[in-house]
Amino acid sequence: MAPMGIRLSPLGMAVFCLLGLGVLYHLYSGFLAGRFAFFMLSEPAAGGPETPHGSVPGGAVDLRELLAVSVLAAVRGGEEVKRVREGNVLNAKAKGKTREGAEEQLTTGDLLSNRRMFYLLKGAFPAVQINSEERVDTADQETVSWDRSIPEDIKQKIQPKEVPAESVTVWIDPLDATQEYTENLREYVTTMVCVAVNGKPVIGVIHKPFSSYTAWAMVDGGSNVKARSSYNEKTPKIIVSRSHAGKVGQVARQTFGNKTVIIPAGGAGYKVLALLDVPEKNQEKADVYIHVTYIKKWDICAGNAVLRALGGHMTTLTGEEINYTGSDGNEGGLIASINMNHKALIEKLPDLEKTSHK
**CATH number for position 91:** 3.30.540.10
What is the C-alpha separation between 335 and 97, in angstroms, rounded? 24
Residue 62 is labelled as binding a ligand: no
Same domain, 101 and 218: yes
* Catalytic residue, candidates 110, 190, 191, 315: 110
Same domain, 287 and 338: yes
What is the average pLDDT score of the chain?
A: 83
Same domain, 68 and 159: yes
pLDDT in the model for residue 349:
77
Q: Is 260 annotated in the active site?
A: no
Same domain, 194 and 245: no
Higher pLDDT pick, 243 / 200: 200
pLDDT in the model for residue 298:
97
The mean pLDDT of 77-90, rounded to a whole number, is 97
Residue 220 is labelled as binding a ligand: no
Given a cut of 70, whether residue 83 has pLDDT beyond it is: yes
Residue 299 is labelled as binding a ligand: yes
Q: What is the CATH number of the domain that holds 268?
A: 3.40.190.80
Higher pLDDT pick, 49 / 222: 222
pLDDT in the model for residue 348:
82
Given a cut of 70, whether residue 223 has pLDDT beyond it is: yes
pLDDT per residue over 136-187, tens digit each? Answer: 776 667 777 788 999 999 999 999 999 999 999 999 999 999 999 999 999 9
pLDDT in the model for residue 145:
78
Q: Where are the beta strands (DSSP E) in the chain?
A: 60-62, 93-97, 103-106, 129-132, 162-164, 168-176, 190-197, 200-208, 213-218, 222-223, 226-227, 237-241, 261-265, 276-277, 288-291, 295-296, 313-315, 329-330, 334-337
Same domain, 250 and 213: no
The mean pLDDT of 227-237, rounded to a whole number, is 77
* Catalytic residue, candidates 178, 293, 315, 316: 178
**Residue 83 burial (CB < 10 Å; 0-12/13-18/19+)?**
middle
pLDDT in the model for residue 136:
76
The DSSP line for 97-109 is: E-TTSPEEEE-HH
pLDDT band at 314 (very low <50, low <70, confident <90, very high): very high
pLDDT in the model for residue 34:
39
Strand partners, 162: 62
Residue 153 is labelled as binding a ligand: no
Domain containing residue 64? 60-224
Residue 176 is labelled as binding a ligand: yes
Q: Is 110 annotated in the active site?
A: yes
Given a cut of 80, whether residue 278 has pLDDT beyond it is: yes
Higher pLDDT pick, 323 / 15: 323
Given a cut of 60, whether residue 237 has pLDDT beyond it is: yes
